Amino acid sequence: MELEFLEALKEEWKPGAKPALIAWLAFYGLFLLHALTNKSGFLIIDYVFLPIHEGGHLLFGYFGSMIGTWGGTLMQLLVPLALTVYFVFQRHTAGPAFCAFFFENFLNLSVYMGNAR
């Protein structure tokens, strides 16, 4: 007995457009250049994760103070994962690649969790 929602994983991937591929590669290249030349340690993409992190404290804070403390980190882990899974089930080629880019925030999470001790 197979789960119905897994049927979507048997479909073919939707092809990506070449202009979109070129645009995303340019974006990734510019981001890497920004990351290499940034001396502050806080990248421009981190401004996207800051409200997600703080929103996690608020959201998970309803379940107690301990899980509320962990909520920021949990939300930073769950949002990219949920978006990646969504696009995998939609069979979009560019979607998971773009969402996987957001796992870049693991670098900040590792420092943040190391300092939390």
Q: One digit per residue, pLDDT tens: the chain, 117 residues? A: 467 777 878 888 888 888 888 888 898 889 889 888 888 877 888 888 889 889 999 999 999 999 998 898 899 889 989 998 998 888 888 888 888 777 777 777 777 777 776
Residue type, 108: N
pLDDT score at 16: 80
Nearest of 78, 86, 74 to residue 102 by alpha carbon: 78
Report yes or no: 46 and 72 within 8 Å, Cβ to Cβ: no
Name the token pair of 46: 């981190």
pTM assigned to the model: 0.76
Find all residues with CB under 8 Å of 56, minimum gap 6, and list them: 71, 72, 73, 74, 75, 76, 78
Domain regions of the chain by residue span: 45-117
Nearest of 110, 111, 88, 109 to residue 98 by alpha carbon: 88
